Amino acid sequence: MMFEHPPLWLILGAFLAALGPLVFIHEYGHYIVGRWFGIGAETFSIGFGREIAGWTDKRGTRWKVGWLPLGGYVRFTGDMDPASMGRGLDRLPPEVRARSFHAKPVWQRALVVLAGPAANFLLAILIFAGFIAAFGAPRTPAVVSNVMANTPAAAIGLRPGDRILAINGEEVRYFNQLSDYARLRPGEDVILRFERTGQNLEARTRLMDVMEEDRFGNRFRIGRLGVAPGDVRFEQVGVLQLVPEAVKITASTVENTAVGLWQIISGRRPIEELGGPIKMAQVAGQVASIGPFEFVQLIAFFSINLGFINLLPVPMLDGGHLALYAVEAVRRRPLGERAQEWLFRGGLAALMTLMLVATFNDLGSVGLWQTLGRLLG
C-alpha cells in the first residue's frame, strides 16, 4: 500500500531498516580486514552515545548499540583518541602494542580504512546484480522515438529515428545514459552527436532547466533535452556478466554523485539541495511505501552515497585518513601530532558546519520554516 504522506512510524522504521545494516556493513569492513592483519578491536558500535544493548565476545570485543542511530565506529587497540592519531602507543605493553592499529605498516592501515567504503560499494554491486539477474539489464537504444515541441531537441531539428551517439564527447549507447547525463545538467550547453540515415551530424544546444515534482510533493531541478525513447527494453545477461553490469551501474552512480556535489560546491546548484538524515528518513519512508523492490534499490543507492561520502578527503572521514597515510608513505613518516590535530579540528568544524546546513535544509523540506513563517507573519 502506497501512502501519499507516509506516517511517522513508517518513516522511522524505513530509516532504521536502511541505515542500520549499511552502517554495520561499513564498520564490519573495517573490523574484518583489521582482524586479518591481527589488529585487536575493543569496541564495535552501531550508533553513538549511551549503550542500550551489547555483549562482549571471546576476543574481548564489545559489540553494542548506541541510542543515537546516525553512524557507528570500530575502536581498534591503540586508538586512544577520536581522531585515531595513535597517541600513547609507546606506553602500551609490548603484547598489546603488537596488536594495535598504529603499530601496523601504513599499507595495512590504509586497507583497513578503505575496507569500510569498499564494503558499501560491494553491497550495492550485489544488490544491482540481483536485480539484473531477476529483471535483466537496461538496454533501451539511444534512438529518438518522439521529439517534444518547444524543446532543445526540436530547436536543433532532431527527428524520430535519429540515434544519439555522444553528448559533450561522452559516448551514448543506451537511452538511460543520455537521460542521466541531461538530468544532472539543467541549463547547460551541450554538443550532441547523432546519426541520421547513415550520416553523422553534430549540433549545439542548451538543455532545459525544469522543476519537477514527484508524487510526494518533492521538487527537483533537472535538465531535459526533449526526446522520448521507444519501448523500454531489458535484456537477460549471462551469469558471468552480472557483476560487471552491476559495477557499471555503481560506477555511474558514483560519478553522478560526484557531479552533483561539485555542482553544489561550485554554486551551479543551490546549497538547499544538500540533504541530511531527516531528508534521508523522509525519502526512505516514501520509497518504502511504494514497494519492497524500490526500497531495496534505494538501500543500494544509500550504500553508494555512504561509501562515497566517507572517501572524501576530509579529516575525520575515511578519505581524510587515507590522504594522511598517502603523505606518510611519501615522507616515510607521519605528520607531526600538532599538524594532525589542527587538520582534524578543521575537518570536524567542516563536518559540523555541513551537518548544520543539511539539517537546516531538512527542516525546510518538511515545512518547518514555512509553518513558522505563517505563525510569525
| Rounded to 5°, angle at Cα 216 from 210 and 219 | 25
Confidence at residue 364, expressed as pLDDT on a 0 to 100 scale? 76
The answer to whether 27 is a known catalytic residue is yes
Residues in a beta bridge with 238: none
Task: Tell me how far apart the alpha carbons of residues 246 and 20 are, in angstroms, rounded to a whole number.
Answer: 23
Q: Which of 361, 363, 356 is nearest to 270 (CA)?
A: 361
Residue type, 324: L
Task: Tell me how far apart the alpha carbons of residues 77 and 183 are, in angstroms, rounded to a whole number.
Answer: 46
Q: Which of 139, 138, 140, 152 is nearest to 230 (CA)?
A: 140
Cell of 218: 518533492
pTM, to two decimals: 0.89
Number of H helices, E strands in the chain: 11, 12
Q: Which domains does the chain have, with CATH numbers?
A: 140-232 (2.30.42.10), 314-356 (no CATH)
Active-site residue, from 4, 27, 170, 171: 27
Residue type, 205: T
Q: What is the pLDDT along the chain (377 residues), one digit of tens a residue?
A: 555 678 889 999 999 999 999 999 999 999 999 999 999 999 999 999 899 999 999 999 999 999 988 889 999 987 755 555 556 666 777 777 888 898 899 999 999 999 999 999 999 999 999 999 999 998 899 999 999 999 999 999 999 999 999 999 999 999 999 999 999 999 999 999 999 998 999 999 999 999 888 888 788 889 999 999 988 889 999 999 999 999 999 999 999 999 998 998 888 888 888 888 888 999 999 999 999 999 999 999 999 999 999 999 998 899 999 999 999 999 988 888 888 888 888 888 988 888 888 888 878 776 666 677 666 65
Confidence at residue 366, expressed as pLDDT on a 0 to 100 scale? 67
Residue with cell 560519478: 255
Confidence at residue 216, expressed as pLDDT on a 0 to 100 scale? 81
Confidence at residue 193, expressed as pLDDT on a 0 to 100 scale? 96
CA 255 to chain centre: 10
CA 79 to chain centre: 27
